[in-house]
């Protein structure tokens, strides 16, 4: 099976474009800085976002290539393009090389962004091939990937990152990582990750509660900070109950075993979607 004979749909599935939602973390610094009128800055941030989309898809392909034999025996992962052989190995690697080239080209001229992308690739390959079996380290690497996106949209494009934004980002990504492990623990034993043997249910619940509390605390402090008040007035304060409800609702879904794929769960739960829409409406409203 050649690259050109492989179906376009299979190649798109291989890139996992729905996971690009994670890369919107790149826009966080721009959104909270309210530099929306700065066209060149928007272009730099969009280039960082597009570069992360290319590089993250490349990493997914390399990971799927590495895990294709074990994925083929997994009840759910066996349907992945490489595991099911709907995409050949040469076609997948050629696509990965093209995505790597596109990502580097998009980041060309921005040394900070290139460094962040390099660290992202190195961490994710280390995660896939060894560190995903080390408890706590595995989730910390997932959280670091999100923080690299956040830094790509702040430091790498000339926006000074808010300390509260960074702290909230760290804690919410740790929360989502431990939620993912909790949801995976509801799978049958044969389908579970090896690292789950080191995560007792009570320990995961503790980690989730601790990181949720830290997220809500830092986000609440951010909304009440002089920095947020200067840019948004009192508006952001009214988003705190929405964030609390959204996190509680997500935790409920996780305990139903439905939070393994964070992006899909955030998109398919109408209550969580409603929280997102309401948060955005308040955020974009005139200063109160």
Interval 28-71: pLDDT, tens = 888 877 666 777 888 899 999 999 999 999 999 998 888 888 87
What percent of the chain is predicted at pLDDT more than 70? 93
Q: What is the pLDDT of residue 122?
A: 95
Give the span between the Cα atoms of 260 and 173, in whole angstroms: 14
Cα→Cα distances 164→35, 177, 226, 231, Å? 18, 20, 11, 14
Q: What is the pLDDT of residue 84?
A: 87
Confidence of residue 107 (pLDDT cuts 50, 70, 90): very high
Long-range contacts of 241-244 (CB under 8 A, 24+ apart): 242/275, 242/278, 242/279, 242/282, 243/216, 243/219, 243/275, 243/279, 244/216
Q: What is the pLDDT of residue 18?
A: 86
What are the backbone angles phi and psi of residue 102, rounded to the nearest 5°?
-65, -40
pLDDT tens, residue by residue, 116-138: 999 999 999 999 888 888 999 99
Confidence of residue 259 (pLDDT cuts 50, 70, 90): low
89-107 and 111-129 helices, crossing angle to 10°: 150
- Average pLDDT on 154-173 reads 86
**Measured distance between the N- and C-terminal CA atoms of the chain, rounded to whole angstroms:** 60
187 secondary structure, DSSP code: S
Confidence of residue 148 (pLDDT cuts 50, 70, 90): very high
Confidence of residue 170 (pLDDT cuts 50, 70, 90): very high
Q: Which of 75-89, 141-155, 179-193 has the highest mean pLDDT?
A: 141-155
Q: Where are the domains of the chain?
A: 1-161, 162-288
The residue ranking higher by pLDDT, 215 or 75, is: 215
Give the span between the Cα atoms of 284 and 262, in whole angstroms: 25
1: pLDDT strictly greater than 60: no
Identify the CA nearest to 4 among candidates 90, 79, 99. 90
Give the span between the Cα atoms of 84 and 62, in whole angstroms: 15
pLDDT tens, residue by residue, 207-255: 999 999 999 999 999 998 887 777 777 888 999 999 999 999 999 989 8
Structure tokens at 69: 């034999």
Structure tokens at 205: 């619940």
Please, what sign has the CA dihedral across residues 276, 281, 283, 288? Answer: negative
Element (DSSP H or E) covering residue 211: helix 201-224
Residue 64 in 3-state DSSP? helix
- Average pLDDT on 243-271 reads 83
Q: Give me the architecture of the 1-161 domain, per CATH.
A: Orthogonal Bundle (1.10)
What percent of the chain is predicted at pLDDT more than 90? 45
Give one DSSP letter per residue of 213-262, joined into a string. HHHHHHHHHHHHSHHHHHHHTTGGGGGHHHHHHHHHHHHHHHTTT--SSH
């Amino acid at each position: 099976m050649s690259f050109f004979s492989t179906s376009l749909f299979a190649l798109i599935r291989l890139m996992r474009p729905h996971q690009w939602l994670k890369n919107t973390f790149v826009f966080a610094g721009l959104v909270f800085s309210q530099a929306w009128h700065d066209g060149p800055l928007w272009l730099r941030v969009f280039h960082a976002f597009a570069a992360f989309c290319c590089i993250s898809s490349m990493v997914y392909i390399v990971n799927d290539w590495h895990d294709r034999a074990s994925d083929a025996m997994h009840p759910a992962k066996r349907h992945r393009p490489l595991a099911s052989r709907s995409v050949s190995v040469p076609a997948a690697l050629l696509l990965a090389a093209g995505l790597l080239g596109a990502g580097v080209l998009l980041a060309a001229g921005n040394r900070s962004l290139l460094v962040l992308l390099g660290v992202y690739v190195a961490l994710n390959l280390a995660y896939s091939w060894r560190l995903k079996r080390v408890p706590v380290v595995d989730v910390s690497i997932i959280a670091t990937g999100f923080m690299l996106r956040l830094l790509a949209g702040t430091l790498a494009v000339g926006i000074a990152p808010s300390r509260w934004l960074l702290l909230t980002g760290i804690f919410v990504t740790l929360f989502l990582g431990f939620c993912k492990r909790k949801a995976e623990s509801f799978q049958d034993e044969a389908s579970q990750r090896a690292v789950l043997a080191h995560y007792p249910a009570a320990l995961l619940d503790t980690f989730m509660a601790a990181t949720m509390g830290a997220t809500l605390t830092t986000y609440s402090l951010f909304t009440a900070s002089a920095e947020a008040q200067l840019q948004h007035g009192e508006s952001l304060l009214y988003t705190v109950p929405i964030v609390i409800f959204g996190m509680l609702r997500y935790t409920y879904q996780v305990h139903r075993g439905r939070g393994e794929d964070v992006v899909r769960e955030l998109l398919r739960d109408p209550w969580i979607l409603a929280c997102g829409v309401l948060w955005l409406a308040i955020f974009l409203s005139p200063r109160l």
